[in-house]
Structures are given as C-alpha cells and as structure tokens.
Structure 1
C-alpha cells in the first residue's frame, strides 16, 4: 500500500504520514505526526482491536485517554503501549507536541483465531491496557515498521513477527520458552517445500501446517533447529538462486530480479550485497563469467 498523507487534520497537527502493510491478519501502520502545540484527537476503530506503540516523541509526551477530558491514570514511560478492544474509543493527547512516530497494529481477530489456534487467548484482547511496556513487543514492532514496502519476500518475515506480537499479547506475563527443535524429517520436509516453491511468496501458516504446528511454535522450533528464521532461510535460498542465474547466463539484472521474486534490480542489488558483501555485477565478474 502506498504512503498516505492525510488532509483532514486535527487542530495543531501540521501533517500525518501513514504507511500500511498487512501480514497474517494484522495491519501494521507506521505513522509520523508533526504538530505545533497541544493535540487532542480521536482514534476510534469501531470494528477492530488495535495496539498502539509510541516509537518516538519530540517536544512533549503523548498520552492515551479513554475519555476526551480525563487524563490517563498511569505514569508516562518511554515507548508506552495501549491495547484497545474493538469499539472502544481512544483519544491521543499531548500538551506541546512537535513530532511523534507511533505504530498501530490492527488485528483481524477472527482470522487470527483460525490461524494461530493454540496461541490465541481471547480474554487478553477484551480489556483495555494503557501505558504498559514490553521490550519484546517493541523490538518486533520496530522490525515490522522497518520492512521495506518493495520487499517481495517479506511475507514470511511479516507473518513471523506479527505472530510473535500476538503470542506475547496473549500471554503477557509469561516469558517466551525456548523453541523445541524440529525432528530431522520435519526440517527436510519444510526446507524441501520452500525450495520447491521458490521464488513464490510463502505464508508462515503453509509451513506450520506441513508438520501440524501453530505458527508461533513452528517459527521458534525452526530457528532452534536451523539457527535462522524461515524468512532468513528462504532469503538465503533466493540469493543462491540469483547466483546460479548470474553464472549460467548474461541476462540483465532486471530479468534476474523478476525470475527470483525481487521487485526490481535495485531491490535485488541491495539484498544481494547485504547477504554476500558484493554487488551482483562484482560477484558475477569474480566468479567466472566475463
């Protein structure tokens, strides 16, 4: 989805820039708000449960309110979060705000219930929670917000991160357990499937269903077994696929990118250099094709 610059702005808000992407029944909005002075505006999602996370604030502290003119009873903390059930009104307030960046995760509860199965705890999403903090969730949301919009292989990464956020919210008082390892036959079944499906984008639930596990349990078990996440494993295989094409032919990078699932040649170059330390052209020259 393209970046949206909003026109109908609350008082003292100069601009709002909103970027949205959706994975696994969760819409992730990365919102940048510029303001001059006091801000008070409505944040009502009648049909969706959502989590808001304060990622950065300049010039004043932000405050979630359940009532327009009633201050939040909990003290401010950096990177505070608010979990708001569907239909519940939330107000965003700040006395002298210049800039705020925050993430909003909008949950499709029915879809998540079907997809996450044992990881779903409905009671955790029925009561509001204001100004709480969870460093694990913050890390996952920052990673979600940083996924490039042109990343053609972001499905597995986005699915994994959103499943992790949802699992942590479902059991906020439990420490995440170390993922149990997959059996060797399970690793083979999953990795062979991912390799056979290249370069198609694969959803996390496809892989979890192959061996009858929930998404979050599978994701942790896969990493415990292989040392990398499913997304990282798939990305490494796509880079290997690029290398094979570079060695076997002189086709231009744009065609290589299309054949291996990258959005364009620039996306391919950035990813290839990050994974191999060289640009595709330099790697091709060094490895024998002149």
Structure 2
C-alpha cells in the first residue's frame, strides 16, 4: 500500500486524490493532496522499491524522511526526487504553511524489470537511498506519464516507452555527466569503424576507451551521449545487421552465422535476434525480409 491507501487520512489532510496506472512493471501513482497544517505520513512502505517526486508545492515545501521524526538535512530543490530500496520505508512531511501538493510515486517490480532489461539492469542503483536529487529528463517523462488519460488502452505503448525511459535513467548514476562529454567526430568515427572491422571478435571496453584516449568511465558516457546507445548496444545492432545480410545472401546454417558475427553460439544469436525483431531468424530468412 502506498500514499496511505486504505488507511485513515492524517488529521491535517483535507482531501487526497489518486490516479493509478501500471505500465511495463512500473506502477505510477499521481497524488494530489490538500492540507491544513503540518502533515507527516508514509509514502512508500518497506516492501516496495520506489521513487517519490514532488511536482507542485503551494504555500510551503515538502520533505522526504527516512525516519518520521528526523528531518532531511539536504536543501530543498524544486521537483526533488527520493529513491528508497525495498526494506526501507519513506515518509513525506509537509510544512505547516503548505496547503496543496502534487507528487508522483513510482513503484518498481525489480525482479520483472531485471528479467526484461537484462544487461541494462544494475541492481546496485536501487540498493541504497537517494534523497532530494533532481533530473529534468525524469521530471519531464513523469509529467507525460501522469497526463495519459485514464483507461485509454490505445496509449499503452506510450506508457511502456516512458516508464522504460525513466527506469533506464534511474539505472545509471551520473548519466548526465559534465557538459561537453560527447566524443569528438574523429574519435566517434574511429571507434565505430573499429567495432565494425572487429565484428566477429569480442571487444573489450578498454580497447575502445584507448582509441578515444579516455578513461573507460568517461568513454562509456561519451559514447552514449554521442549515439544514444551504449557501446554494447551499438555493437549488438551492427551484429544483427550483419546477421540479416548473411541470412538473405547465403544459406549458411545459424551456427556458422553466429561465429561470423560474434555470437557465442546459435542459441545466443536466436535469442538476441528474437528480442530485437520479434521473429526467429529462420522465419525472417524464409520471408525474405
């Protein structure tokens, strides 16, 4: 239960309204709360991994608390967010002069998300609390989510896409990085050419970072900023493009194609191909796509 669902309201809560949606293993609760006087109540319980995001604060400010009687020591920031891992409850405090607040709660089914995102999932990012941080990109995505009309099944894909983007951003600490972290055009061309030329071979991140003359950490962020993909995802895209060429231009069996494109075996190739295209390689080849 979250945002006091099914429980008596705090005595200073005049009215509370909630809208609940679930997309892509993420439950999004849009809460509007009208108050009179100081308020303190639970937001996320210890059985959930969740994020609380302040959207509007009128008359005063809201504050996240990991313990109900201990104030947050971090400075207030508009549209602040707090992430709490499973096993740690989150309390919301409203100052006595606050009379209206709107906030979003995002509750994550981490087991299902880990199975879905696989290599893009890093459980460490959800294993410790993060208080009063901000990210304009996440804020914009959540705003779009809560504006999706109730019971509009035609917008399911939009909800899935937005929640996936929120989860991806939360999964990568310091994703924003300092200004100017994109790779130079020369470095990007060099790295992309190297990945294509070395396609059948497994490439280590160290090799690519050395080509760009950057640390592995800064290279990874710079490559993602430049291409929109991680180095692994970009390489996987090129592998699958080559797989498609070989499927159409040859009658080579899948184990041969897998070896030629850098997959460890035919099973690995089939799994990756189906995830990306929604079809088995044999079906794709038969239909001549």
Match of 1:75 in 2: 75
* SS of equivalent residue, structure 2 residue 142: helix
Contact 2:12–2:35 (8 Å) recurs in 1: yes
Q: How does 1:118-197 map to 2 (within 5 A)?
A: 118-175=119-176, 177=225, 178-179=227-228
Q: Give TM-score scaled by structure 1 length.
A: 0.60
Over 4 Å off, 4+ runs: 4-7, 180-183, 208-211
Match of 2:15 in 1: 15
Q: Distance in 2 between matches of 1:111 and 1:86?
A: 14
- Kindly state the Cα deviation for residue 43 of structure 1 after the two structures are TM-superposed: 2.4
- Kindly state the Cα deviation for residue 7 of structure 1 after the two structures are TM-superposed: 7.0
Q: Distance in 1 between matches of 2:31 and 2:77?
A: 19
How many residue pairs were aligned? 190
Most deviating of 173-182 and 17-26: 173-182
Q: Distance in 1 between matches of 2:272 and 2:94?
A: 45
* SS of equivalent residue, structure 1 residue 70: coil
* SS of equivalent residue, structure 2 residue 37: strand
Match of 1:84 in 2: 84
How far does the alpha carbon of each residue in 1:1-49 deviate from its partner, in whole angstroms, 9 at most, with x for none?
xxx9977211200111110000110000000000011111122423210
* SS of equivalent residue, structure 1 residue 22: strand
Q: Give TM-score scaled by structure 2 length.
A: 0.60
Contact 2:38–2:94 (8 Å) recurs in 1: yes
Match of 1:98 in 2: 99
- Kindly state the Cα deviation for residue 149 of structure 1 after the two structures are TM-superposed: 1.2
- After superposition, the CA RMSD in angstroms is 2.6
Are 2:113 and 1:112 equivalent residues in the alignment? yes
Q: Distance in 2 between matches of 1:51 and 1:166?
A: 11
Match of 2:62 in 1: 62
Q: Distance in 2 between matches of 1:158 and 1:209?
A: 24
Contact 1:26–1:107 (8 Å) recurs in 2: yes
Gaps of 5+ in 2: 177-223, 245-270, 278-289
Contact 1:6–1:17 (8 Å) recurs in 2: no
Q: Distance in 2 between matches of 1:209 and 1:10?
A: 50
